[in-house]
Amino acid sequence: MVDSSRNINRKIGLRMWLSGGWLLFLFLATLFAPIISPHDPLAQDLFASRLPPIWMDGYESTYYLGSDSLGRDVLSRILYGARIALLVALIASTATCIIGATLGVLAGYFGGWVDLVISRLVDIWMAFPPVLFAILLIAVLGTGLTSIIIAIIVIDWTRFCRVIRAETMSQSAMDYVASAQAAGRARFGIMVKEIFPNVLPTIVVLLTLEMGIAVIVEAILSFVNLSISTDFPTWGGMISEGRTSVHQAWWVIVFPLITLFLTVLSFSQLGEGLKDRFDPVLR
């Protein structure tokens, strides 16, 4: 018994180490992109087009991961693409989280008509399939980063609201809330000081998972050219361009794809790992 539980802990540990490590690495690389990028991500050099990565024949020394058909450096473009990916992930998921979690806590703690209104809204919202929502929103808002961020917020706030509402309700039923109320403390104070810290772990888990979703949504939309203008390097855009020349220069698609894959996987594994950590059953 003892052995198996230690085993579970170690597994969670390794999983969270790896995914957390990758995300931290990516974040630092993004911060220092202007310093560590060997090239300007937009600079074209037709004499340096489709150079292979550095361990293959025909490489050129500063193009570590090779170059694309316009002679742009793949590594630099991945680093700058990470900026856009992480920017969308941070802004979109934080905003989604704030809106969804606030409404969820309000509905869960105050109940009554507040809960009724918010819950109905969530039900109606969720009856509308997310893909249709996305198509409509992007069609109406036009392309660009702001549209993507707004679309993510508008579509995904219900995900937070539903879970946090349920969590708040179960917390509200606990003794410590009753005793705080008996002590005559204001309801709003109890909500912020007593309940919020207890639903925070769930919020953190959802936020982490949402960042992974935001990264993939941004990649998909830039892949189909509905994101930021193609002047900026994005992972989705690189994959889309790399796909056309995959037979001549596989590295143009493979490296951004690996980066995207690891990032999405890391966010989701980190989220799942945190969930297991916070889950009292496993703890």
Residue labelled with tokens 């992972």 = 235
Residues 274 and 204: beta-carbon distance below 8 Å: yes
User: If we measure between CA atoms, which residue out of 218, 208, 223, 173 comes closest to residue 194?
Assistant: 173
Number of H helices and E strands in the chain, helices first, is 11, 0
Q: Which is nearer to other proteins, 170 or 225 (CB)?
A: 225
CA–CA gap between residue 133 and residue 210 (Å, rounded): 17
Task: Give the residue with the Cβ less far from other proteins, 10 or 243.
Answer: 243
State in angstroms the smallest separation of the CB of 226 from other proteins: 6
Least distance (Å) between residue 172 CB and other proteins: 27
Query: Which is nearer to other proteins, 39 or 162 (by Cβ)?
Result: 162
Which parts of this chain interact with other proteins (CB under 8 A)?
A: 1, 127-132, 135-136, 138-142, 212, 216, 219-220, 223-226, 239, 243, 246-247, 250, 253-254, 257, 260-261, 264-265, 268-269, 272
Give me the least distance between CB of 82 and other proteins, in Å please.
16
The CA-based dihedral angle spanning residues 156, 159, 164, 170, taken in that order and rounded to the nearest 10 degrees: 170
CB of 194 to other proteins, least distance (A): 33
Joined together, the tokens standing for residue 111 give: 């109940």
Which lies closer to other proteins via its Cβ, residue 114 or residue 220? 220
